[in-house]
Amino acid sequence: MKLAWDSQGDGAPVLLIQGLGYTRQGWGPLRERLARRYRVISFDNRGIGESDIPPGPYSVEQLAGDAVQVLDEAEVDRAHVLGASLGGFVAQVVAAEHADRVERLVLACTSPGGPGSYPLPEQTLRLMAEAPSLAPEVALRRFVENAVAAGAEPELIDEIYAYRQKHPPDPGGWAAQAGAGAAWDAGDRLQRIEAPTLVVTGTGDTVVDPRNADLLAERIAGARLERIEGAGHMLFWERTEEFAGIVERFLG
């Protein structure tokens, strides 16, 4: 599997794992912000960007294996791991199944999945149902607007929209990633996570129900929960300084 990855900065390594349909450039200013103190390693999941796009379906376990491959290629034995959204599913598997590779774990705007988790908010379900009837550029902008907090600055929406236009997902790869996310269920993995864990959510997230952060924090021994008031699903892009500060204080 060819996986495209970047490394920025020096210091303790931090592996960033992105969510559905986002490339390694999709962290906004966060990579450069964290690279002031850490060696930040980011990559394109299989199915998007410059990484290979094999036929689906994919599984979260396959995506976790890819993340470990990136650590191997970067010659990193242990790293802090930060996963967002679908990347948070992947990070849970990496921490549970490859515990020796994970120093500390950060789970952002994500969920344990399975029958006990909170489903997609109604606002997102309505948009997904409506999207096929919209012009592609209109649908894309609506999805960007849905991913940030209500009342977000138009300039922020324009910036994320421009990124999405520049890095469009491959339809087959997107569907394969989405299938992996739809089937996600952490099961008993959360009880097997030993790495110190931070769970971060935005209280205005309309893509992943913020109450899923409580479930993660309850099921992972010793996990710490941080809420960013009013932030949406793209909290690391919307509130970069606040999010990075929370992460840095946790990582040390």
- Tell me the C-alpha to C-alpha distance, in Å, between residue 114 and each of 123, 130, 141: 20, 25, 29
Distance CA 77, CA 32 (A): 23
Report pLDDT digits (tens) over 85-121.
Answer: 999 999 999 999 999 999 999 999 999 999 999 999 9
The pLDDT score that the predictor gives to residue 111 is: 98
Q: What element of type H or E holds 160? A: helix 154-166
Distance CA 173, CA 140 (A): 17
Strand order from edge to edge, sheet including 39-43: 5-8, 39-43, 13-17, 79-84, 102-108, 197-202, 224-228
| Parts of the chain with a pLDDT under 50 | none
CA of residue 161 relative to chain centroid, distance: 18
Distance CA 201, CA 84 (A): 10
Rounded (5°) CA angle 173-187-194: 100
Q: DSSP secondary structure string, 56-121?
A: S---HHHHHHHHHHHHHHTT-SSEEEEEETHHHHHHHHHHHH-GGGEEEEEEES---BSTTS----
Per-residue tokens: 85: 């959204």
Which architecture does CATH list for 5-120+169-251? 3-Layer(aba) Sandwich (3.40)
Distance CA 177, CA 170 (A): 10
Distance CA 162, CA 184 (A): 30
Distance CA 202, CA 108 (A): 9
**pTM for the full predicted model:** 0.98
The pLDDT score that the predictor gives to residue 165 is: 97
Distance CA 217, CA 198 (A): 8
- Tell me the C-alpha to C-alpha distance, in Å, between residue 247 and each of 6, 20, 43, 104, 143: 20, 22, 19, 10, 26
Distance CA 235, CA 245 (A): 13
